[in-house]
Amino acid sequence: MFGSMIRYFSTKPKPKMKPIELKTSLEQTQTISRVSFDILKEHGPLTVGDTWERVKDLQARGT
């Protein structure tokens, strides 16, 4: 019991985080989500850099 109390008091409290407020329109957010999902579905997991390169390629093609 004493060990549990020590572990409880030795942990740091979680920082208070507020929700993320997006500054893009709902349509743009949905488009970004849809394109990202399509990339993952087609090519599997990618690095962040590779994902953004594919998004840029799709935007350049007008898809």
What's the pLDDT tens digit per position in 7-25? 777 777 778 888 878 788 9
Backbone dihedral angles phi then psi of residue 12, each to the nearest 5 degrees: -85, 145
Of 1 and 17, more confident: 17
Residue 6 has pLDDT above 80, yes or no: no
Average predicted confidence (pLDDT) for the chain: 81
Q: What is the pLDDT of residue 3?
A: 76
**What residues contact residue 49 under an 8 Å CB cut-off, 6+ apart?**
none
pTM given for the model: 0.42
- Across 30-34, 51-55, 59-63, the highest mean pLDDT is recorded for 30-34
